[in-house]
Amino acid sequence: PVPPPAAAGAAAAPSGERIDRRVPMSRMRKRIAERLKDSQNTAAMLTTYNEIDMTNIIQARNLYKDEFLKKKGIKLGFMSMFVGAAAQGLVEQPIVNAVIDGDDIVYRDYVDVSVAVSSPTGLVVPVLRDVQNMGFADIEGSIAAYGEKAMAGQLAIEDMAGGTFTVSNGGVFGSMMSTPIINQPQAAILGMHATEMRPHVVNGEIKIRPIMYVALSYDHRIIDGREAVTFLKNIKLRVEDPVRMLFGL
């Protein structure tokens, strides 16, 4: 015999029912969570901010980007300019490039910059080695290669091991301002943000300029405020006047 039809709505979820779904964290996400929380628990973290007038560096990029691509085979972005400016600053102020090891401060005579890139499993930070010896094309090429490996899920542990300083660019997602978390055991991290047209005072007059806010989070146990502020200010000077980087100023 044919069973009687079910009562209307008996098998359906009640209208407006709210459901919780429990999904295990991936190994990558668990590791990221552990490292970020360890950093907050370990470092005496402080953040200093500044703003950068991007007018000159945008003009320089627009002027040379086509020739750069033709000759170097890689696109010229702003990331290489910020990483290069940071590398010069780290050589000048080695305490920002140093690390605490027990009761000692370990100074490094090389600059290995961790660069945050997106991957299907989350944010990863592969390391550019010996950036103090790299030009813009070398930096852009290395970042692009790591980006391709990250999207393909082919980054190896050794690609992300080490690093003496980190540069993170939340601006690609539209972030105006943030307080980046130090990538332990490093002592500092530079946060880049979105460039927006804003009123800006130039020679006593209000002009509309492309402005980027930048942030430097640092471990106050090892870096004093004077060193941190000076380091970030020098990055500002180099980016606002790119010619300074050519002369190592």
Active-site choice (138, 219, 224, 241): 224
- 51 vs 54, 206, 211, 244, CA distance in Å? 9, 15, 7, 18
Please state, as a whole number, how many other Cβ atoms lie within 10 Å of the Cβ of residue 198.
14
Contacts of 72 (CB under 8 A, 6+ apart): 137, 140, 141
Q: Quick check: is 193 catalytic?
A: no
The sign of the CA dihedral 81, 119, 97, 219 is: positive
The sign of the CA dihedral 154, 159, 78, 73 is: negative
Q: Quick check: is 224 catalytic?
A: yes
Please give the Cα distance from 6 to 146 (Å, whole number). Answer: 57
Q: Which alpha helices (DSSP H) does the chain contain, by range?
A: 27-42, 55-72, 79-92, 136-151, 157-160, 225-240, 243-246
Active-site choice (104, 159, 220, 241): 220
- 95 vs 69, 175, 211, CA distance in Å? 36, 28, 28
Please give the Cα distance from 70 to 2 (Å, whole number). Answer: 76
Catalytic residue list: 220, 224
